[in-house]
Structure 1
Amino acid sequence: MVREPVLAYVALGANLGDAQAAVRHALAALDQDLPETHRVAASALYRSAPIDAQGPPFVNAVAALSTRLPAPVLLAELQRLERLAGRERPYHHAPRTLDLDLLLYGDGRIDSPALTLPHPRMVDRAFVLLPLAEIAPQRVDRARLAELAHQSIERIGS
């Protein structure tokens, strides 16, 4: 049985090494290295201060993907890309070479030990909402984004 494509949104972030190059490489990998998946949109790159994390500033973006993968399989593929980029998890909120978070999977809702959708903390993070608003304004509550104006974030490139 062929699954109908679903529009999923993924947040990308990195703050170790050449973070900008890591995010750009990951954007390409989302389009080329995931089965039954292709990228349909990507935001500009943004620089943001760490929130609930340590280390240097992050480079962030959000991508929209058309995928036939079930959400748990897509998450596993995103984690595979993180590992290929050298992602280690020595402690909670450690600096990272690459972080890929599945934000939304169509209008689906999942609440399992391995995956919660929509992403439970996305509405608290300007570094997610601002790039998401760029590619999917209908998915972002503008009033909520305005409440996050105190969080440090700047657009750094397309």
Structure 2
Amino acid sequence: MSANDMIFALALASNLNKQQHFNLAYQHIQSWGELELSSIYQIPCRDGVGHEYWNAACLLMTQFTLPEMQLRLKQLERLSGRVRPSHQISLDVDLIAWGNDLSTMQWNEKKQPFALDVKIPLYELWPHHELKVTGCIFPKVDFKLGAVLSG
């Protein structure tokens, strides 16, 4: 890790052509730096409207600045065909926290309080006490990056 590197904690979600959009997201985000991925969890829609989501998290180490990362995330969502507002989400990528190391990360206050679909996958990568959830178990998705899409 160089002195200019930043760590970004990202939350990813999709409930429309999920495999296709997670492939797209992972391929782009991997090209931006060193990436650590969580498992993908299948979690019901928060408001009970719409299809179940695939939810995951990642930690990305990169030389991008915060404004550069915010711009790239919005571009990635647009590339996936994201339409707002809608209950059919091709790809949602939220910036949850950032910093130079995990002990000094700054939370994105616009995203707080964090929902279960953010906390569960992110805790797998970064066991921070604010992300800990007990008593909730959701199925994990068997996902292989670059896998051929089926039905």
Partner of 1:128: 118
- Aligned length, in residue pairs: 138
The amino acid of 2:47's aligned partner reads D
2:134 corresponding residue in structure 1? 146
Give matches, 1:84-95, under 5 Å.
84-89=79-84, 91=85, 94-95=87-88
| Aligned twin of 1:28 | 27
Q: By how many angstroms is 1:44 displaced?
A: 1.1
User: Kindly tell me: are residues 52 and 76 of structure 1, through their superposed partners in 2, closer, same or farther at Cα, counting changes over 3 Å?
Assistant: farther
- State the AA in 1 paired with 2:8: A
The normalised TM-score by structure 1 is 0.75
Amino acid at match of 2:113: R
2:94 counterpart residue number: 101
Percent sequence identity over aligned pairs: 24
> Aligned with 1:146: secondary structure?
coil
**2:37 aligned with 1:57, yes or no?**
no
Of 59, 66, 70, the match for 1:71: 66
State how far apart, in whole Å, the 2-side matches of 1:109 and 1:134 are.
Answer: 18
Counterpart Cα distance in 2 of 1:157 and 1:130: 17
2:11 is matched with 11
- How far apart, CA to CA, are the structure 2 residues paired with 1:76 and 1:128? 21
Q: Using the TM superposition, give the Cα deviation of residue 24 of structure 1 relative to its aligned residue in structure 2, in angstroms.
A: 2.8
Gaps of 5+ in 2: 144-151
Match of residue 155 from structure 1: 140
> Relative to structure 1, is the Cα distance of residues 117 and 6 closer, same or farther in structure 2, using a 3 angstrom cutoff?
farther
Equivalent-residue separation in structure 2 for 1:80 and 1:109 (angstroms): 23
- Is 1:8–1:105's contact at 8 Å kept on the other side of the alignment? yes
Matched-pair contact (CA < 8 Å) for 2:37–2:58: yes
Q: CA RMSD in A?
A: 2.5
SS class of match (1:41):
strand
Are 2:24 and 2:80, in contact at CA under 8 Å, matched by a contact in 1? no
Q: Please give the alpha-carbon distance, in whole angstroms, between the structure 2 residues aligned to 1:47 and 1:69.
A: 30
* TM-score normalized with structure 2 length: 0.78
Deviations 1:84-123 (A, max 9, x none): 011111x2x632100000011123547xxxxx4473132x
Query: Over residues 35-86 of structure 1, what are the superposed CA-to-partner deviations in whole Å (9 max), with x where a residue is unaligned?
Result: xx31420011111101136310001110110122222221111010010011
Match of 1:113 in 2: none
In the alignment, the residues of structure 2 paired with residue 156 and residue 63 of structure 1 have an alpha-carbon distance, to the nearest angstrom, of 15
Give 2:42's match in structure 1, choosing from 44, 47, 69. Answer: 47
